[in-house]
Copies of this chain bind each other. A is one copy, B any other.
Amino acid sequence: MKLDDKGLLIVISGPSGVGKGTVRKALFEREGHDLVYSISMTTRKPRQGETNGKEYYFVTKEEFEKNISEGKMLEYAEFVNNYYGTPLDKINEQLESGKEVVLEIEVQGAMQVKKKVKDAVFIFIAPPSMNALYSRLTNRGTETEKIIKERCEKAKREVGLANMYDYIVVNDEVSNAADKIIAIIRAEHARTKRTIDKYQKMLEVK
């Protein structure tokens, strides 16, 4: 018996290069969970193999800024001269229908969601070491040296924000991290703050 019918807003975040995307993909491969992925919007150019509406909604800077000014973004961040953000439409509808909505976003954006959605679940994906993180940022091979350096500095600041999250999950092994997130989602559904209203109604307790 589930004491809460609504889905959870699950924020998966962490420093650039930590492997958020890989963990999120592994999470969605797990069966028996009603997860939906909130596709982000970005102004960066698609990488090879990326499709509009799949990995991201790819839009122009002007379109993105119009969405911001119209209050249509749950969160957004500027990152290496590009915007990344989460369009609000559909999210609430999906939550009401009982789906768990997963956001995979930058630390900057997660801090914005934290202000707006008090009952979201904030999961910080942590690297097993700073060297592991720097190595990933260096080896991606799609960026210039200047951008890599900026990223490393930013990542260092970002690891310092883990204390703002509800959970810290070390990405030492992707499947292990995904398992932990599944457990977190299951446990959060039983948390008293989410279940007490329906519990009291069910047992007619005042």
Contacts and interface: CB of A to CB of B under 8 A. Distances in A.
Interface string A28-43: 0000000000000000
A168 B204 CA distance: 15
Interface of A: 1, 3, 123-124, 126-130, 159-160, 162-163, 165-170, 172, 179-180, 182-184, 186-188, 190-192, 195-196, 199-200, 202-206
Nearest to A190: B167
Nearest to A166: B192
A162 to B, nearest CB: 6
Contact of A190 (B184, B203, B206): B184
Contact of A124 (B127, B167, B170, B192): B192
A188 B187 CA distance: 8
Contacts of A127: 203
B192 A187 contact: no
A203 B159 contact: yes
Given A188-B187, A190-B184, A205-B159, A168 B124 contact: no
Contacts of A170: 1, 3, 199
B202 A129 contact: yes
Contact of A186 (B163, B183, B190): B183
A79 to B, nearest CB: 21
A44 to B, nearest CB: 27
A196 B162 contact: yes
